[in-house]
């Protein structure tokens, strides 16, 4: 029986489960027994494919063997020196890997203080942090029109958070009808399939020709980015929430200077490292808010879970996702309980 079964990308396009040692918590750390993890069908599959430019930021991650995962829900089972033992038994969220046991610095632990947050839905916490940060960096305001390109997990949660922030209408754009069907039934959300619908016409009609105030790029496809600016009004904001996989040919005069667009990067690392009066919204604060929204039913994520499998099925799941992820959304691995 494995001591610490761990999902490992041993080389591009090859996934195995290795028996590794249970980590020992050091000073200021906790040991966590995993209950659920969520596969990132964006970041993880990009790394697993190995298909990225060698000098890009992706190359920093794509060193094999690679241990993936950053959406870990578990229970503290041990603590290192200097850590209060009352933490043992606490349900937590961390950026831990897909493994039976992980350790984390106490400062990086997100306590799940609401019992009504299911483990499966709690695994979305990292995705939620990224999207919340993007909505704030995009400065989305009440009654602004927003267009969101790409309805994977990031796009789906961005749609929901923009509505919570008061945006209306929110244009949710994707070429897969299966993803459009996962949107909430909300009159303020306008599903658009650009293979069937003329997006510009839809936006013009719904905004009385004012166009969108903000657009979010969440496809990750660098070829699509120039066309996404077409829905923006003059002086609108364009938020890059995805991590585009490659180079975009970009005319700065036409797509930035002349219409005076504001282009905003919104990587998760742009969260402030600590709370300040000007910006208190750290990763931990966003995770805390996310768990409250789930517990209170303001965000419902069960409809976004497309796969729920024991961790032993991870190699098969990754193989399926590498072939076709169009039907996949939240892919949850069960580790215990």
- What CATH number does residue 77 fall under? 3.90.180.10
Distance CA 191, CA 175 (A): 10
- Is it the case that residue 1 has pLDDT exceeding 50? no
Let me know: does 28 contact 105? Beta carbons within 8 Å.
yes
134 in the same domain as 247: yes
Q: What is the CATH number of the domain that holds 261?
A: 3.40.50.720
In this predicted structure, what is the pLDDT of residue 306?
94
Distance of CA 233 to the CA centre of its chain: 27
Total domain count for the chain? Answer: 2
SS3 288: helix
Q: What is the mean pLDDT of residues 165-189?
A: 96
Better pLDDT: 147 or 63: 147
Q: What angle do CA 248, 251, 252 make, to 5 degrees?
A: 110
Lowest mean pLDDT among 53-57, 132-136, 271-275: 53-57
In this predicted structure, what is the pLDDT of residue 245?
81
The average confidence (pLDDT) of the chain is: 94
SS3 58: helix
Q: Please name the residue that has the structure tokens 């990067």.
A: 265
150 in the same domain as 112: no
In this predicted structure, what is the pLDDT of residue 56?
58
In this predicted structure, what is the pLDDT of residue 143?
97
The DSSP call for residue 191 is E
In this predicted structure, what is the pLDDT of residue 325?
85
200 in the same domain as 80: no
Q: Environment class of residue 249 by beta-carbon count within 10 Å: exposed (0-12), middle (13-18) or buried (19+)?
A: exposed
Position 294 in a domain:
no
85 in the same domain as 12: yes
Q: What is the mean pLDDT of residues 182-204?
A: 97
Let me know: does 176 contact 151? Beta carbons within 8 Å.
yes
Position 296 in a domain:
no
Which residue range(s) make up the domain with 308? 4-124+301-334
Better pLDDT: 250 or 2: 250
Let me know: does 183 contact 164? Beta carbons within 8 Å.
no
Lowest mean pLDDT among 7-16, 158-167, 249-258: 249-258
Percentage of the chain surpassing pLDDT 70? 96
Q: What is the pLDDT of residues 203-242, one digit of tens each?
A: 999 999 999 999 999 999 999 999 999 999 999 999 999 9
Enumerate the H helices of the chain as residue ranges: 43-49, 119-122, 125-137, 153-164, 177-180, 199-206, 225-228, 252, 283-295, 314-323
Q: What is the mean pLDDT of residues 121-137?
A: 97
pLDDT band at 94 (very low <50, low <70, confident <90, very high): very high
């Amino acid at each position: 029986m494995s001591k610490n079964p761990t999902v490992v990308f041993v080389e591009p396009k090859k996934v195995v489960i290795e028996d590794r040692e249970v980590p020992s918590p050091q000073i200021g750390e906790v040991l966590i027994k995993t209950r659920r993890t969520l596969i990132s069908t964006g970041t993880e599959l990009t790394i697993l494919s190995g298909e990225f430019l060698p000098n890009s930021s992706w190359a920093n991650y794509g060193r094999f063997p690679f241990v993936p995962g950053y959406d870990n829900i578990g229970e503290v089972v041990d603590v290192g020196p200097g850590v209060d033992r009352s933490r043992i038994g606490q349900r937590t969220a961390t950026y831990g890997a897909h493994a039976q046991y992980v350790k984390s610095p106490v400062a990086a632990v997100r306590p799940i203080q609401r019992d009504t947050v299911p483990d499966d839905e709690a695994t979305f916490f990292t995705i939620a942090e990224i999207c919340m940060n993007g909505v704030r960096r995009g400065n989305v305001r009440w009654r602004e029109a927003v267009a969101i390109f790409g309805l994977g997990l990031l796009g789906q949660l961005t749609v929901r958070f923009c509505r919570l922030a008061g945006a209306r209408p929110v244009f949710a754009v994707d070429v897969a009808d299966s993803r459009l069907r996962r949107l909430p039934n909300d009159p303020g959300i306008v599903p658009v399939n650009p293979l069937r619908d003329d997006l510009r016409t839809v936006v013009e009609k719904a905004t009385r020709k004012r166009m969108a105030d903000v657009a979010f790029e969440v496809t990750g496809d660098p070829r699509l980015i120039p066309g996404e600016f077409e829905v923006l009004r003059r002086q609108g904001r364009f938020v890059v929430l995805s991590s585009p996989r490659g180079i975009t040919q970009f005319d700065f005069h036409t797509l930035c200077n002349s219409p005076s667009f504001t282009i905003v990067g919104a990587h998760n690392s742009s969260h402030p490292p600590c709370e300040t009066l000007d910006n208190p919204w750290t990763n931990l604060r966003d995770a805390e808010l996310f768990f409250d929204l789930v517990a209170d039913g303001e965000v419902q994520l069960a409809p976004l879970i497309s796969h729920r499998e024991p961790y032993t099925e991870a190699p098969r799941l990754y193989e399926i996702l590498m072939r076709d992820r169009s039907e996949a959304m939240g892919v949850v691995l069960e580790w215990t309980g």
